[in-house]
Amino acid sequence: MKKDYLGKSLLIITLATIGATVLYAWTGPGNNSPRSGNPSGPLDIGPTDQIKDGDICTMKGGVKKCLSNTL
């Protein structure tokens, strides 16, 4: 009887710990959207002008190509 109680207790504690870990990991980093405190948003399609600091580069076959080199 005592072993059965101990086994059930360990099972409940283990499941509660796993559940708490999953819930903690599931929550986001906060309520800051990318435009209000975190990194700036990505470039995307749309009719509005978009500004991004820095250069835009791609890497293909070990060759780096940047937009600043084409202007």
DSSP-assigned letters across all residues of 2-69: HHHHHHHHHHHHHHHHHHHHHHHHHS-S-S--GGGTSSPPPP--SSS----SS--EEEETTEEEEGGG
User: Which of 32 and 24 is assigned the larger pLDDT?
Assistant: 24
- Which one has a higher pLDDT value, 18 or 26? 18
Least-confidence region, from 2-6, 30-34, 50-54: 30-34
Q: What is the pLDDT of residue 33?
A: 56
